């Protein structure tokens, strides 16, 4: 069986430790045995003796680490909360923006020639929707195609087949599906 050492301190000694510990909490100040002695009305040598006898330097370093850890946890928690809130607001703004873009596109009545120009423009800029991503850089063409009547879409696919055969454009590469040869 191990015997643990029990350290008995008086209330005055405990008060001296905390007084000394707190003298170093002001910005730019260091812990001072003299300042603690003055506050407590004791001799600075007595305070030094107690500090050495009870390991105040080590105890203060451990307390500093504990306090620092708590501060870091709170700061990190606050930063994560702030970042999460910012991301949430940005997602809402992006969703509203896409809703406005889709509403504007729904009101458009592009001509066949305009659609071909848009497809050629997006091909030139190499703006293609990522697989399964309707709202990427090429989303304007994707959304336009989804809002066209089926006969117009078929006509565009037929024309894109002609463009593909001529080497000018590949609708499949634009993420709009396979090009039918008809």
pLDDT in tens, 20-64: 998 877 767 789 999 899 999 999 999 999 999 999 999 999 998
**For the packed helices 56-107 and 11-23, what is the interaxial angle rounded to 10 degrees?**
50
pLDDT at 58: 93
Q: Residue 171 above 60 pLDDT?
A: no
pLDDT at 41: 93
pLDDT > 90 fraction of the chain, expressed in percent and rounded: 18
Q: Residue 79 above 60 pLDDT?
A: yes
Closest CA to 157 of 170, 141, 140, 138: 170
Closest CA to 117 of 69, 166, 163, 148: 163
pLDDT at 174: 47
pLDDT at 164: 67
User: Which whole number is the average pLDDT over 2-23?
Assistant: 81
**CA dist 82 to 17, 73, 74, 124, Å?**
38, 14, 12, 40
Q: Residue 172 above 50 pLDDT?
A: no
pLDDT at 113: 75
Q: Residue 165 above 80 pLDDT?
A: no
pLDDT at 144: 62
**CA dist 151 to 9, 90, 92, 112, Å?**
92, 38, 35, 12
Cβ count within 10 A of residue 141: 23
pLDDT in tens, 104-149: 767 777 677 777 777 676 666 544 444 444 444 445 556 666 666 6
Residue 129 contacts residue 139 (beta carbons within 8 Å): yes
């Amino acid at each position: 069986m191990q015997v643990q050492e029990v350290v008995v301190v008086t209330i005055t000694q405990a008060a001296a430790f905390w007084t000394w510990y707190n003298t170093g909490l002001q910005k730019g100040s260091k812990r001072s045995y003299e300042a603690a002695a003055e506050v407590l009305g004791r001799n600075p040598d007595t305070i030094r003796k107690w500090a050495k006898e009870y390991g105040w330097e080590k105890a203060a370093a451990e307390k500093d680490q504990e306090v620092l850890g708590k501060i870091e946890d709170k700061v990190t928690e606050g930063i994560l909360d702030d970042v999460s809130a910012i991301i949430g607001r940005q997602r809402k703004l992006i969703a509203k923006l896409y809703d406005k873009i889709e509403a504007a596109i729904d009101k458009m009545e592009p001509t066949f020639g305009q659609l071909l120009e848009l497809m050629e423009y997006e091909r030139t800029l190499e703006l293609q929707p990522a697989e399964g991503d309707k709202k990427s850089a090429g989303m304007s063409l994707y959304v336009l195609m989804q809002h066209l009547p089926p006969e117009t879409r078929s006509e565009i696919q037929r024309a894109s087949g002609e463009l593909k055969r001529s080497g000018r454009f590949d609708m499949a590469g634009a993420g709009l599906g396979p090009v039918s040869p008809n």
